[in-house]
Amino acid sequence: MRRTMKYGLLCLAVMAASLSVPGQVSAARAQRVPPMSFLEYRADTVEALALQAEQNPQVRARYARHFGIPGSRVAQFIRENLVISYLPASGRYRVYYVRPGGRIVARQVYLPRGTRVLALRNGEPVLRWICGNAMVPELPEVAVRPVRQVPQVPEVISVPSEQVVPVSRVVSVPFEQVAVREIVPPVAVAAAPVPVAPVPIPVSRAAAAVPVVAPVPAPTPVPPRPSSVVPILAAVPPITFIGGERPQPPPPITELPPPEIPVPEPGTLAMLTLAAGPMAWAAARGKRRNSRSE
Protein backbone atom coordinates (compact mmCIF):
# COMPACT_ATOMS: atom_id res chain seq x y z
CA MET A 1 0.00 0.00 0.00
CA ARG A 2 2.77 2.35 0.92
CA ARG A 3 4.70 1.50 -2.23
CA THR A 4 1.67 2.24 -4.35
CA MET A 5 1.29 5.65 -2.75
CA LYS A 6 4.96 6.43 -3.32
CA TYR A 7 4.76 5.48 -6.97
CA GLY A 8 1.64 7.53 -7.41
CA LEU A 9 3.23 10.65 -5.90
CA LEU A 10 6.34 10.16 -8.04
CA CYS A 11 4.25 9.92 -11.19
CA LEU A 12 2.39 13.12 -10.33
CA ALA A 13 5.67 14.97 -9.76
CA VAL A 14 7.07 13.78 -13.10
CA MET A 15 3.93 14.82 -14.93
CA ALA A 16 3.98 18.27 -13.35
CA ALA A 17 7.63 18.71 -14.29
CA SER A 18 6.97 17.62 -17.86
CA LEU A 19 4.16 20.16 -18.16
CA SER A 20 6.21 23.05 -16.79
CA VAL A 21 9.43 22.38 -18.71
CA PRO A 22 8.01 22.95 -22.23
CA GLY A 23 6.65 26.33 -21.17
CA GLN A 24 10.02 27.38 -19.80
CA VAL A 25 11.79 26.08 -22.88
CA SER A 26 9.39 27.92 -25.15
CA ALA A 27 9.86 31.15 -23.15
CA ALA A 28 13.63 30.76 -23.34
CA ARG A 29 13.44 30.01 -27.04
CA ALA A 30 11.29 33.10 -27.53
CA GLN A 31 14.03 35.27 -25.98
CA ARG A 32 16.84 33.69 -27.96
CA VAL A 33 18.23 35.19 -31.15
CA PRO A 34 19.73 33.40 -34.17
CA PRO A 35 23.50 32.78 -34.27
CA MET A 36 25.83 35.62 -35.32
CA SER A 37 23.32 38.28 -34.26
CA PHE A 38 24.11 41.80 -33.17
CA LEU A 39 21.78 41.43 -30.14
CA GLU A 40 22.16 39.18 -27.11
CA TYR A 41 18.39 38.65 -26.72
CA ARG A 42 15.36 39.70 -28.69
CA ALA A 43 14.01 43.24 -28.40
CA ASP A 44 10.34 43.53 -29.28
CA THR A 45 10.18 47.35 -29.34
CA VAL A 46 12.41 50.22 -30.37
CA GLU A 47 12.81 51.30 -26.75
CA ALA A 48 13.86 47.77 -25.70
CA LEU A 49 16.50 47.77 -28.46
CA ALA A 50 17.79 51.19 -27.33
CA LEU A 51 17.97 50.05 -23.69
CA GLN A 52 19.93 46.92 -24.67
CA ALA A 53 22.39 49.09 -26.60
CA GLU A 54 22.79 51.37 -23.55
CA GLN A 55 23.17 48.62 -20.95
CA ASN A 56 25.18 46.01 -22.93
CA PRO A 57 28.65 47.25 -23.96
CA GLN A 58 29.14 44.40 -26.52
CA VAL A 59 25.96 45.28 -28.42
CA ARG A 60 26.86 48.98 -28.33
CA ALA A 61 30.39 48.27 -29.62
CA ARG A 62 29.08 46.18 -32.57
CA TYR A 63 26.81 48.94 -33.82
CA ALA A 64 29.45 51.63 -33.29
CA ARG A 65 32.10 49.65 -35.21
CA HIS A 66 29.79 48.81 -38.09
CA PHE A 67 28.24 52.27 -38.62
CA GLY A 68 31.36 54.23 -37.66
CA ILE A 69 29.73 56.37 -34.98
CA PRO A 70 30.56 56.93 -31.30
CA GLY A 71 29.07 54.42 -28.88
CA SER A 72 27.26 57.21 -27.02
CA ARG A 73 25.16 57.97 -30.15
CA VAL A 74 23.90 54.42 -30.81
CA ALA A 75 20.89 54.54 -28.46
CA GLN A 76 20.09 58.10 -29.52
CA PHE A 77 20.14 57.10 -33.20
CA ILE A 78 17.78 54.17 -32.55
CA ARG A 79 15.26 56.27 -30.56
CA GLU A 80 15.17 59.23 -32.92
CA ASN A 81 15.16 57.56 -36.35
CA LEU A 82 13.88 53.96 -36.28
CA VAL A 83 10.33 52.59 -36.26
CA ILE A 84 8.92 49.08 -36.66
CA SER A 85 7.99 48.43 -40.30
CA TYR A 86 7.47 45.56 -42.79
CA LEU A 87 9.11 44.72 -46.11
CA PRO A 88 6.87 45.79 -49.00
CA ALA A 89 8.07 43.02 -51.36
CA SER A 90 9.89 39.68 -51.26
CA GLY A 91 13.49 39.49 -52.47
CA ARG A 92 17.09 39.03 -51.62
CA TYR A 93 18.50 41.56 -49.14
CA ARG A 94 22.01 42.09 -47.83
CA VAL A 95 22.27 41.31 -44.11
CA TYR A 96 25.39 41.71 -41.95
CA TYR A 97 26.36 39.07 -39.36
CA VAL A 98 28.91 38.92 -36.55
CA ARG A 99 31.19 35.90 -36.41
CA PRO A 100 32.35 34.43 -33.07
CA GLY A 101 35.68 36.22 -33.41
CA GLY A 102 33.92 39.59 -33.77
CA ARG A 103 34.39 40.01 -37.51
CA ILE A 104 31.37 41.43 -39.38
CA VAL A 105 30.49 39.80 -42.73
CA ALA A 106 27.68 40.39 -45.26
CA ARG A 107 25.38 37.76 -46.79
CA GLN A 108 22.55 37.78 -49.32
CA VAL A 109 19.41 36.44 -47.61
CA TYR A 110 15.98 35.87 -49.13
CA LEU A 111 13.30 37.61 -47.04
CA PRO A 112 9.59 37.23 -47.85
CA ARG A 113 7.14 40.07 -48.07
CA GLY A 114 5.88 41.31 -44.68
CA THR A 115 9.07 40.48 -42.76
CA ARG A 116 9.31 42.73 -39.70
CA VAL A 117 12.22 45.16 -39.78
CA LEU A 118 13.36 48.39 -38.12
CA ALA A 119 13.30 51.09 -40.79
CA LEU A 120 13.52 54.83 -41.17
CA ARG A 121 10.36 56.91 -41.24
CA ASN A 122 10.46 56.89 -45.04
CA GLY A 123 10.34 53.05 -45.08
CA GLU A 124 14.01 52.27 -45.85
CA PRO A 125 15.03 49.14 -43.83
CA VAL A 126 18.04 49.54 -41.51
CA LEU A 127 17.96 46.60 -39.01
CA ARG A 128 16.37 43.21 -39.04
CA TRP A 129 13.89 42.93 -36.19
CA ILE A 130 14.43 39.28 -35.14
CA CYS A 131 18.19 39.60 -34.59
CA GLY A 132 19.00 43.31 -34.81
CA ASN A 133 21.52 42.76 -37.63
CA ALA A 134 22.29 45.67 -39.90
CA MET A 135 20.91 45.72 -43.45
CA VAL A 136 22.90 48.76 -44.69
CA PRO A 137 26.70 49.28 -44.73
CA GLU A 138 26.45 52.77 -43.25
CA LEU A 139 23.83 55.03 -41.84
CA PRO A 140 21.65 56.88 -44.36
CA GLU A 141 22.11 60.59 -44.73
CA VAL A 142 18.77 61.21 -43.08
CA ALA A 143 19.92 59.52 -39.92
CA VAL A 144 23.33 61.15 -39.82
CA ARG A 145 22.34 64.52 -38.49
CA PRO A 146 24.90 66.87 -37.08
CA VAL A 147 24.76 67.24 -33.38
CA ARG A 148 23.42 70.61 -32.50
CA GLN A 149 25.86 72.34 -30.29
CA VAL A 150 24.35 74.83 -27.96
CA PRO A 151 26.62 77.85 -27.63
CA GLN A 152 27.77 78.26 -24.10
CA VAL A 153 26.74 81.57 -22.72
CA PRO A 154 29.34 82.96 -20.34
CA GLU A 155 28.05 83.24 -16.85
CA VAL A 156 27.30 86.80 -16.01
CA ILE A 157 27.90 87.78 -12.44
CA SER A 158 25.76 90.68 -11.42
CA VAL A 159 27.84 93.25 -9.58
CA PRO A 160 25.87 95.90 -7.72
CA SER A 161 26.53 99.18 -9.43
CA GLU A 162 27.32 102.21 -7.39
CA GLN A 163 24.62 104.80 -7.42
CA VAL A 164 26.05 108.12 -8.55
CA VAL A 165 24.13 111.09 -7.26
CA PRO A 166 24.28 113.99 -9.72
CA VAL A 167 25.73 117.10 -8.11
CA SER A 168 23.82 120.22 -8.89
CA ARG A 169 26.01 122.91 -10.42
CA VAL A 170 25.65 126.39 -9.04
CA VAL A 171 25.94 129.08 -11.68
CA SER A 172 26.67 132.57 -10.42
CA VAL A 173 24.53 135.23 -12.09
CA PRO A 174 25.58 138.91 -11.78
CA PHE A 175 23.24 140.88 -9.57
CA GLU A 176 21.49 143.75 -11.25
CA GLN A 177 19.90 146.55 -9.31
CA VAL A 178 16.52 147.44 -10.65
CA ALA A 179 14.79 150.60 -9.51
CA VAL A 180 11.25 149.81 -8.50
CA ARG A 181 8.81 152.64 -8.65
CA GLU A 182 5.92 152.32 -6.26
CA ILE A 183 2.72 153.74 -7.60
CA VAL A 184 0.46 154.99 -4.80
CA PRO A 185 -3.13 155.74 -5.77
CA PRO A 186 -4.33 159.26 -4.93
CA VAL A 187 -6.18 159.60 -1.64
CA ALA A 188 -9.73 160.80 -2.10
CA VAL A 189 -10.46 163.67 0.32
CA ALA A 190 -13.99 163.59 1.66
CA ALA A 191 -15.94 166.83 1.35
CA ALA A 192 -16.79 168.69 4.55
CA PRO A 193 -20.36 168.13 5.72
CA VAL A 194 -22.74 171.01 5.16
CA PRO A 195 -24.33 172.21 8.43
CA VAL A 196 -28.07 171.78 8.54
CA ALA A 197 -30.13 174.53 10.11
CA PRO A 198 -32.38 173.37 12.95
CA VAL A 199 -36.02 173.32 12.11
CA PRO A 200 -38.15 175.13 14.74
CA ILE A 201 -40.80 172.93 16.28
CA PRO A 202 -44.12 174.70 16.78
CA VAL A 203 -45.32 174.62 20.38
CA SER A 204 -49.03 174.61 20.97
CA ARG A 205 -50.67 176.87 23.51
CA ALA A 206 -51.92 173.98 25.64
CA ALA A 207 -48.44 172.64 26.01
CA ALA A 208 -47.12 176.12 26.86
CA ALA A 209 -49.72 176.54 29.64
CA VAL A 210 -48.67 173.37 31.48
CA PRO A 211 -46.50 174.32 34.51
CA VAL A 212 -43.12 172.72 34.85
CA VAL A 213 -42.71 170.81 38.15
CA ALA A 214 -39.22 170.51 39.57
CA PRO A 215 -38.11 166.94 40.28
CA VAL A 216 -38.19 165.86 43.93
CA PRO A 217 -35.12 163.95 45.07
CA ALA A 218 -35.77 160.48 46.46
CA PRO A 219 -35.01 159.89 50.15
CA THR A 220 -31.61 158.40 50.84
CA PRO A 221 -31.87 154.94 52.47
CA VAL A 222 -30.31 154.67 55.92
CA PRO A 223 -28.01 151.66 56.21
CA PRO A 224 -28.40 149.41 59.27
CA ARG A 225 -26.12 149.84 62.23
CA PRO A 226 -23.10 147.54 62.02
CA SER A 227 -22.83 147.17 65.79
CA SER A 228 -26.24 145.69 66.30
CA VAL A 229 -26.30 141.92 66.67
CA VAL A 230 -29.94 141.55 65.78
CA PRO A 231 -31.22 143.83 63.07
CA ILE A 232 -34.59 144.30 64.81
CA LEU A 233 -33.01 145.98 67.86
CA ALA A 234 -31.72 148.77 65.69
CA ALA A 235 -35.26 149.96 65.03
CA VAL A 236 -36.12 150.24 68.77
CA PRO A 237 -35.85 153.87 70.06
CA PRO A 238 -33.45 154.54 72.94
CA ILE A 239 -34.89 154.09 76.46
CA THR A 240 -34.50 157.03 78.87
CA PHE A 241 -34.69 156.58 82.64
CA ILE A 242 -37.20 158.72 84.55
CA GLY A 243 -35.29 161.09 86.83
CA GLY A 244 -34.94 164.73 87.64
CA GLU A 245 -34.83 165.71 84.01
CA ARG A 246 -38.00 166.51 82.10
CA PRO A 247 -38.74 164.18 79.28
CA GLN A 248 -38.48 165.79 75.95
CA PRO A 249 -40.99 165.29 73.20
CA PRO A 250 -40.21 162.53 70.81
CA PRO A 251 -38.65 163.48 67.54
CA PRO A 252 -40.79 163.51 64.47
CA ILE A 253 -41.27 160.12 62.95
CA THR A 254 -39.96 159.81 59.46
CA GLU A 255 -40.65 156.88 57.21
CA LEU A 256 -37.58 154.74 56.74
CA PRO A 257 -37.12 152.07 54.12
CA PRO A 258 -37.35 148.50 55.34
CA PRO A 259 -34.02 147.29 56.64
CA GLU A 260 -32.07 144.80 54.64
CA ILE A 261 -31.83 141.54 56.55
CA PRO A 262 -28.50 139.92 55.76
CA VAL A 263 -28.74 136.25 54.99
CA PRO A 264 -25.90 134.34 56.65
CA GLU A 265 -23.89 132.07 54.44
CA PRO A 266 -23.77 128.30 55.08
CA GLY A 267 -20.12 128.55 56.06
CA THR A 268 -20.90 131.20 58.69
CA LEU A 269 -23.67 129.07 60.21
CA ALA A 270 -21.37 126.11 60.39
CA MET A 271 -18.68 128.15 62.17
CA LEU A 272 -21.19 129.53 64.64
CA THR A 273 -22.49 126.06 65.39
CA LEU A 274 -18.98 124.73 65.97
CA ALA A 275 -18.16 127.69 68.23
CA ALA A 276 -21.39 127.43 70.25
CA GLY A 277 -20.91 123.73 70.96
CA PRO A 278 -17.81 124.05 73.20
CA MET A 279 -19.31 127.07 74.95
CA ALA A 280 -22.49 125.19 75.83
CA TRP A 281 -20.46 122.21 77.01
CA ALA A 282 -18.31 124.47 79.26
CA ALA A 283 -21.40 126.15 80.74
CA ALA A 284 -23.01 122.81 81.54
CA ARG A 285 -19.82 121.57 83.16
CA GLY A 286 -19.60 124.69 85.35
CA LYS A 287 -23.17 124.22 86.54
CA ARG A 288 -22.39 120.65 87.55
CA ARG A 289 -19.38 121.72 89.59
CA ASN A 290 -21.38 124.43 91.38
CA SER A 291 -24.14 122.00 92.25
CA ARG A 292 -21.65 119.54 93.69
CA SER A 293 -19.85 122.14 95.77
CA GLU A 294 -23.11 123.30 97.39
The answer to whether position 178 is within a domain reads: no
The answer to whether position 28 is within a domain reads: no
The answer to whether position 172 is within a domain reads: no
The answer to whether position 34 is within a domain reads: no
Buried-exposed string 122-148: b where 16+ CB fall within 10 A, e elsewhere: eeebbbbbebbbbbbeebeeebeeeee
pTM beyond 0.75, yes or no: no
Residue by residue, pLDDT tens for the chain (294 residues) are: 555 565 556 656 656 555 444 444 344 445 788 999 999 999 999 999 999 999 999 999 999 999 999 998 999 999 999 999 999 999 999 999 999 888 999 999 999 999 999 999 999 999 999 999 999 998 887 644 554 555 666 666 665 566 666 666 665 656 566 555 656 566 665 666 666 666 655 555 444 444 555 555 565 655 555 444 444 445 545 554 444 556 666 666 666 667 676 666 667 777 888 878 888 888 888 888 888 776
DSSP codes joined into one string, 93-151? EEEEEE-TTS-EEEEEEEE-TT-EEEE-TTS-EEEETTT--BSSSS--TTT--PPPPPP
Domain count, the chain: 1
The answer to whether position 79 is within a domain reads: yes
The answer to whether position 251 is within a domain reads: no
The answer to whether position 96 is within a domain reads: yes
- Range of the structural domain that residue 58 is part of: 46-128
The answer to whether position 55 is within a domain reads: yes
Q: Tell me the C-alpha distance between 192 and 74, whole Å.
A: 126
